[in-house]
Amino acid sequence: MAVIQVERKPLSFAERTYIPQIIGGLKTTFKHLLKPPVTLQYPEQRPEISKNYRGVPTLVKDPNGREKCVSCQLCEFVCPPKAIRITPGEIPEDSPNAHVERAPQAFDIDMLRCIYCGLCQEVCPEEAIWLQNQFSLSGYTRAEMVNHKDKLYELGGTLPDAHFKWDKKKAAEEHGNEH
Amino acid sequence: MIQPAKPDLVTVNIDGKEIAVPKGTNVIEAARLVNVDVPHYCYHPKLAVVGNCRMCLIEMGMPAVDPATKAPVMDPATGKQKINWIPRPQIGCGTTVSPGLHVKTTSPMVKDAREGVMEFLLINHPLDCPICDQAGECKLQEQATGYGRGYSRFIEQKNVKPKRTQLGPRVTLDDERCVLCSRCIRFSKDIAKEDVLGFVDRGSYSTLTCHPDRKLDHNYSLNTVDICPVGALTSTDFRFKMRVWFLKQTNSICTESSVGVNSVVWSREGVIYRITPRRNDEVNDTWMPDSGRILYKQVQSAERLKAVESLEALVAKAASIFKTSAGAISVVGSGRSSVEEQFLTKKLAAALGAQAHLVKRAGEGDKLLISADRNPNVRGALVTGLISQLPCAELKQLSGEIDSGKVKTVVAINEDLLAAGLTAAQLAKISVVYLGTHANATSLAAKVVLPTLTVFEKAGTFVNQQFRIQKFAQAVPGLTGAHNDLTVLSALTAAAGGAALPSEVGTLWPVIATETPALATMLYKNIPETGLLLDATPWAGLSFVEGETLHFKPAAPVAATV
């Protein structure tokens, strides 16, 4: 390739003093000095999390306090890093939720394995597992990083339910057939 | 071109594919042969055809002939014989093939019919797949996906039916899921001969019920769970234990009796969750007794024997016992050991100069899939030459020899000598080397205990009552602290001064084949999954205890059971 020699332009006097450049830089500095800060004093101040953020997966209860998970194990199946481990169980006959029949005996999510992909939330037929807004998670041991059922419900809390399909089911059962 | 069919074959045309099938085959089975799936619920190859689910609707037609001259009517457009298609769909299960039958399974009429049937079935189905145990192996799920409309037009209230009904000790019924195929009813009536199930009410209120005064408690009740195409009948034992899509399937053989029921062991991560039958038209069709399905519980039993010492140390201990009582040793083999283990037992007995005995385990046969001989592999012991006569009750010869002081040491292989007929006093007189899986009176009294594996933790073969050699594979890893029977037996044989023998099924088989006339030219890997019949003529003179069972008729007069 041909080499083209470019002649360097000589600097003017003002440029040689650097003063215009310094003034230009300081102008930007002083402009931002008067604006509100964009940084946060983390961890005292926490950022606002967007609604579709995929944070730590959690289990939720419906507004009546019924645990929504029925331990169908689809999330365990779909989980790419195999972070979820469920021991299915049966709801006892004397429970008010006996008509739901199934609930997890144990539900463990290994947060050292979780990749926050959200497939568990997507696959859940009961809308029981949600990736909510918790994003900072730490622990001293590996065992501490496994979220058990109690911790998952504590993190998840209650989510509004638009369907109440199990309540409708129970009502239909009590109502019976019209014949 | 249509090949000239053999006399007992009928040539049919399914979706444009010509195939010759045996006379009497129905369209579903004929279509299966050309890999065409005809969806169905009520049809089962081993049950009577009732045709009440209407899912297998197909379009069919016959080649046209002139009514007067019987001459074929040709279609000028194609130059072939014209086909007179029946204007309405027909059921595939109830239609037996006839020469020249033409079948369409993909036409718009068939598609419409299937969508209609699926829609009607789903109207009152609760759609509770997340809590249903059948999910993953449910015909309704599969066929709704494959042939359904894909959306529901039903906005009315669904029917309410009884849920969580205990039909018997092992079967739970959810009536809302039932598609009224009546397979379970036909099975109970025709196969199990216990007519306890039936439908009550009419129309969409039809409900599967058990006879009010009876229970579905016969020993074949769990087969109704297997054949239920939906999740209406579920196994109480397996209920909510694990999803089927996590389970690994391993082909196995049931050890309950000498029928040798073919089975599948379903396990996940080394834990067995259930056992189901495997189809073998020569042995058990598609059935299995309930009592054989709970045998997996022995694997996780608290009674399992575990060794603290190494195998070498235990074998050395046994060897020192062998040395001190040389010439006064007897071996009690087991009809529950595999052919390979019995072969090594024979080798061990030869190395010790001992006589081999076998424990008789007779019960009552149920004329279906449990035979009178509760040892799964007595014929294996005959084939390998471990014994030459059928085992006699209560180890009479051995107990006499112990009393006379002729036998001072007994090597017991997975047999409780006390239960087999020896007395505690006799047991105290002798030194016992025990190979076994579970703790019992003999293992407690034994000088040396060598823990071994259950049938689910090892591979091998059994020879059933038909002299059919059938293989089983390892389903789960062996318990820590227990050793494969073959490893233990070959180590003991070497310690007793015998030749070193391979301790793995694959490498042992060439040795077995060369030394066993009935098994010559066979290899473990060459045995088909449905088993291989052996020549039984050398043992034709023996009077076996088995009576008649499914697919088996005793050849010789039946000896009285003891």
State which residue of chain A sits closest to B124, comparing Cα positions: A177
Answer whether A173 sits within 8 Å of B163, measured CB to CB. Answer: yes
* B135, B159, B163 ranked by CB distance to A177: nearest: B159
Mean predicted confidence (pLDDT) in B487-500 = 93
- Residue B558 confidence (pLDDT) above 70: no
Which chain B residues are Cβ-neighbours of A88 within 8 angstroms?
A: 240-243
Answer whether A179 sits within 8 Å of B246, measured CB to CB. Answer: no
- A61 Cβ under 8 Å from any chain B Cβ: no
Sign (positive or negative) of CA dihedral B264, B268, B270, B275 = negative
Answer whether A102 sits within 8 Å of B131, measured CB to CB. Answer: yes
**Pairwise CA distance, residues B131 & B114, whole Å:** 26
Which chain A residues are Cβ-neighbours of B205 within 8 angstroms?
A: 177, 179
With pLDDT > 90 as the criterion, what percentage of chain B qualifies? 87
Answer whether A77 sits within 8 Å of B164, measured CB to CB. Answer: no
A128/chain B closest Cα distance in angstroms: 12
Which chain B residues are Cβ-neighbours of A100 within 8 angstroms?
A: 131
Number of neighbouring beta carbons within 10 Å of residue A67: 22
- Mutation for A interface: B123, B124, B128, B204, most A CBs within 10 A: B128
**Pairwise CA distance, residues B478 & B488, whole Å:** 14
State in Å, rounded, how far the first CA of chain B is from the last one: 63
pLDDT at B45: 95
* A70, A76, A178 ranked by CB distance to B131: nearest: A70
Mean predicted confidence (pLDDT) in B428-440 = 94
- Mutation for B interface: A73, A85, A127, most B CBs within 10 A: A73
Confidence of residue B4 (pLDDT cuts 50, 70, 90): low
* A76, A125, A172 ranked by CB distance to B130: nearest: A125
pLDDT at B562: 41
State in Å, rounded, how far the first CA of chain A is from the last one: 94
Answer whether B135 sits within 8 Å of A126, measured CB to CB. Answer: no
Mean predicted confidence (pLDDT) in B45-69 = 94
Selected from 3.20.20.30, 3.90.1150.180, 3.10.20.740, 3.30.530.20, the CATH number assigned to the domain covering B9-117 reads: 3.10.20.740
Helix (H, G, I), strand (E, B) or coil at B439: coil
pLDDT in tens, A96-135: 999 999 999 999 999 999 999 999 999 999 999 999 999 9
Query: pTM here?
Result: 0.90
Mean predicted confidence (pLDDT) in B413-433 = 92
Which chain A residues are Cβ-neighbours of B177 within 8 angstroms?
A: none
pLDDT at B326: 87
* A77, A100, A102 ranked by CB distance to B245: nearest: A77
Positions of CATH 3.10.20.740 in chain B: 9-117
pLDDT at B242: 95
Which chain B residues are Cβ-neighbours of A84 within 8 angstroms?
A: none
State which residue of chain A sits closest to B162, comparing Cα positions: A173
Burial of B189 (0-12, 13-18, 19+ CB in 10 A): middle
- Residue B228 confidence (pLDDT) above 60: yes
- B156-298, CATH topology level: Alpha-Beta Plaits (3.30.70)
Positions of CATH 3.30.70.20 in chain B: 156-298
Q: Which residue has the higher pLDDT, B559 or B455?
A: B455
**Pairwise CA distance, residues B2 & B328, whole Å:** 73
Q: Look-up: residue for tokens 């009502």?
A: A171
How many Cβ contacts (< 8 angstroms) between chains A and B?
47
Q: Look-up: residue for tokens 């089911």?
A: A169
Confidence of residue B561 (pLDDT cuts 50, 70, 90): very low
- A177 Cβ under 8 Å from any chain B Cβ: yes
* A77, A100, A176 ranked by CB distance to B131: nearest: A100
Answer whether A101 sits within 8 Å of B131, measured CB to CB. Answer: yes
- Residue A29 confidence (pLDDT) above 70: yes
Q: Which residues of A79-95 are buried (b: 16+ CB within 10 A; e: fewer)?
A: beeebbebebebbeeee
Answer whether A89 sits within 8 Å of B246, measured CB to CB. Answer: no
- A127 Cβ under 8 Å from any chain B Cβ: no
Q: Which amino acid is at A142?
A: R
pLDDT at B556: 57
ipTM of the complex model: 0.85
**Pairwise CA distance, residues B462 & B276, whole Å:** 18
Answer whether A88 sits within 8 Å of B242, measured CB to CB. Answer: yes
pLDDT at B560: 46
Which chain A residues are Cβ-neighbours of B240 within 8 angstroms?
A: 71, 88-90, 101-102
Give the mean pLDDT of chain B: 93
Q: What would the two tokens of residue B455 be?
A: 């049938």
- Residue B7 confidence (pLDDT) above 70: no
Q: Using an 8 Å Cβ cutoff, are B179 and B185 in contact?
A: no
Answer whether B129 sits within 8 Å of A72, measured CB to CB. Answer: yes
Helix (H, G, I), strand (E, B) or coil at B120: helix
B443/chain A closest Cα distance in angstroms: 35
B156/chain A closest Cα distance in angstroms: 12
What order of strands is seen across the sheet that includes strand B460-463? B460-463, B468-472, B532-533
pLDDT at B1: 44
- Mutation for A interface: B123, B131, B243, most A CBs within 10 A: B131
Answer whether A89 sits within 8 Å of B242, measured CB to CB. Answer: no
* A72, A77, A177 ranked by CB distance to B130: nearest: A72
Answer whether B164 sits within 8 Å of A179, measured CB to CB. Answer: no
Answer whether A88 sits within 8 Å of B157, measured CB to CB. Answer: no
Q: What would the two tokens of residue B290 be?
A: 């309930």
A44/chain B closest Cα distance in angstroms: 42
- B241 Cβ under 8 Å from any chain A Cβ: yes
pLDDT in tens, B345-401: 999 999 999 999 999 999 999 999 999 999 999 999 999 999 999 988 888 889 999
Q: Which residues of B152-174 are buried (b: 16+ CB within 10 A; e: fewer)?
A: eeeeeebbbbebebebbebbbbb
Positions of CATH 3.40.50.740 in chain B: 311-539
Q: What would the two tokens of residue B373 be?
A: 């001989």
pLDDT at B222: 96
Mean predicted confidence (pLDDT) in B239-243 = 95
Q: Which amino acid is at B478?
A: G
CATH code for the part of the protein at B311-539: 3.40.50.740
Confidence of residue B110 (pLDDT cuts 50, 70, 90): very high
Q: Which amino acid is at A178?
A: E
pLDDT at B393: 81
pLDDT at A163: 85
**Pairwise CA distance, residues B336 & B7, whole Å:** 46
Confidence of residue B76 (pLDDT cuts 50, 70, 90): confident
- A72 Cβ under 8 Å from any chain B Cβ: yes
Give the mean pLDDT of chain A: 92
**Cα–Cα nearest to B126, from A101, A83, A42, A144:** A101
- Residue A178 confidence (pLDDT) above 90: no
Confidence of residue A175 (pLDDT cuts 50, 70, 90): confident
Q: H/E element holding B200? A: strand B197-200
State which residue of chain B sits closest to A124, comparing Cα positions: B130
